[in-house]
Structure 1
Amino acid sequence: MKVACIQMNVSVCSKNDNLHHALQMAEEAVFREAELLVFPEVFSTGFCYERIEEIAESVPGPTIEALCDFSKEHDCILAGSIIERREKGTINKDDHLPSQYNLGFCIESGKLAGSHRKVQLYGPEKEYFASGDSIAPIRLKKHDLSVGLIICNELRYPEVARKLAVEGADLFVSSAEIPDFYAHPWRIMSISRAIENQLPHVACNRVGQGKRTVYPGGSLIADGWGRVLEEAGNAETFLIGEIDLDQAKDIKQKGSILNDIRTDLY
């Protein structure tokens, strides 16, 4: 299966421009026969804190609908994250949590196959986002796959990836906005999550100058042994790689890591 990281720059709060740019890059990736395309974290808006209530969307909403249209037209899978508005019906008078979620999504052939609300928030995110309360892989029809979706800071917690693996994920997809000072750990952790669970990993990070930091890219595609199949530099690109799904199953079976977990001890 051909996969792609849409390693793009993000203009904060410019939703329409970012979405248009993302889909332009995605067009090039599907022209190269990519079936699974991964966007960076909150790729359509960046962390637009100053206008977050305005730019947050209900799901389904304009961004998800545009992605569904693209996915249907090209019969492909799209993954990433957006800023989701919490529905008023889910908020009670004693609820003092923020009114948004960082929502990971997985769209297959025009339909929202599943979603994941980020459970491990970082820094100022805690002021603007409510935390998700579940971790589970998303089941796809294509190739009979289950995708373990990881959003940025969640990569720092091996428990998140392990929970996804134990519950049946066949590959990991990471959607991230990792800054330059964390570029080295990003690479090591992306490879480590693959090795620890013997699963392929498609890890997509953004590039470009932010308000306070630079985003270095470094998106990569690794197999279940942690071998880097493709890796990007610090420029905008659509990184294309190929995951051998039969080999991925073989790697998963050979190591027996998940079968040998000592649940009586940890």
Structure 2
Amino acid sequence: MKIALGQLESGADIRANLAAIDRFAAQAARNGAALVAFPEYATYEKKKMDATFPEVAEPLDGPVCRELAAIARRHRIALVAGVVETSEEPGRAYNTLVAFGPDRGWLASYRKIHLFDAQGFGESTFIKPGPSTDPVVFEHGGVQFGLMTCYDLRFPELARSLADAGAHVLLVCSSWVPGEHKTEQWLALNAARAIENSVYVAGVCQAPPVSVGRSVLVDPMGVVEADLGLEPGVRAVEVSLETVDRVRESFPMFRQRRL
């Protein structure tokens, strides 16, 4: 199966962001991808988080998600993207990943559980952590995909729980905040999660200046199969269940670990 990484340069214009998602989804489908993944905050993003995030938030059956579902249907491709979802708490929203299928509609949603309160960045001021730590995995085309969001990448127990739940590919949808050594950490952590869980990791990031770019697909041996660099773009890359099985047979960590 081919999956595509869609590296966006999202801003505060929701309609423009949806138009970019539509263009990239169309290109991914033309390139033979069965699924395209977009970053965290794909539909609304700013360099600095503020009160407008909960103000623009919508329920998951609102206009933004309806348009994302329509894009998936129109281009006959599964689509994963980050949205701002309304919560029950005034002044705070959920940072949510949604997944739509090309014909079945809704596939999954995941509310980010590890909020980025670091480097002087207080995501939890305006975003509410997801109440459930249960791993979110969905199937498409015979492949199991696990959902993670940005700062989650620093918490290896979440990636392991997704692998335990059957994930072959981890979709790490991100807007990785720039800073000293942050690009190096982004690349190293994507590779680490792939190697230690014998999975593919698709780390899909916002482009500079809001984020670091460098969206990557890492195979279960830690080999970087694609790196999108710093500019917005989309690229389709092959993932193979046979590769996952072969690596897990060579390194049978799931049978050998002692808890």
Q: Any unmatched runs of 5+ in structure 2?
A: none
Deviation at 1:179, TM superposition (A): 2.8
Distance in 2, matches of 1:67 and 1:24, equals 12
Report if aligned partners of 2:148, 2:171 keep a CA contact under 8 Å in 1. Answer: yes
Give the corresponding residue for 1:199. Answer: 199
Deviation at 1:134, TM superposition (A): 2.1
- Amino acid corresponding to residue 108 of structure 2 in structure 1: G
Q: SS of the residue aligned with 2:59?
A: coil
1:151-170 per-position Cα deviation (integer Å, ceiling 9, x unaligned): 00000111110111112112
4+ residue runs of structure 1 moved beyond 6 angstroms?
A: none
Report if aligned partners of 1:217, 1:233 keep a CA contact under 8 Å in 2. Answer: yes
- Amino acid corresponding to residue 219 of structure 2 in structure 1: D
- Amino acid corresponding to residue 29 of structure 1 in structure 2: A
Which is further off, 152-161 or 109-118?
109-118
- Amino acid corresponding to residue 187 of structure 2 in structure 1: R
RMSD: 1.7
Q: Any unmatched runs of 5+ in structure 1?
A: 92-96
Alignment of 1:49-198 (within 5 A): 49-86=50-87, 88=88, 99-110=92-103, 111-123=105-117, 124-132=122-130, 133-143=132-142, 145-181=143-179, 182-198=182-198
Question: Which residue of 212, 236, 260 maps to 2:232?
Answer: 236
Deviation at 1:52, TM superposition (A): 2.1
Deviation at 1:207, TM superposition (A): 0.7
Q: SS of the residue aligned with 1:43?
A: coil
- TM-score, normalised to structure 1, is 0.88
Task: Assess, with a 3 A threshold, how the Cα gap between structure 1 residues 53 and 184 changes in structure 2: closer, same or farther.
Answer: same
- TM-score, normalised to structure 2, is 0.90
1:78-128 per-position Cα deviation (integer Å, ceiling 9, x unaligned): 112111001x4xx6xxxxx85311111221224111111101001211111
- Amino acid corresponding to residue 114 of structure 2 in structure 1: Q
**Percent identity (aligned):** 23
Deviation at 1:262, TM superposition (A): 1.2
Report if aligned partners of 2:137, 2:166 keep a CA contact under 8 Å in 1. Answer: no
Deviation at 1:141, TM superposition (A): 4.1
Report if aligned partners of 1:116, 1:135 keep a CA contact under 8 Å in 2. Answer: no
Which is further off, 106-115 or 167-176?
106-115
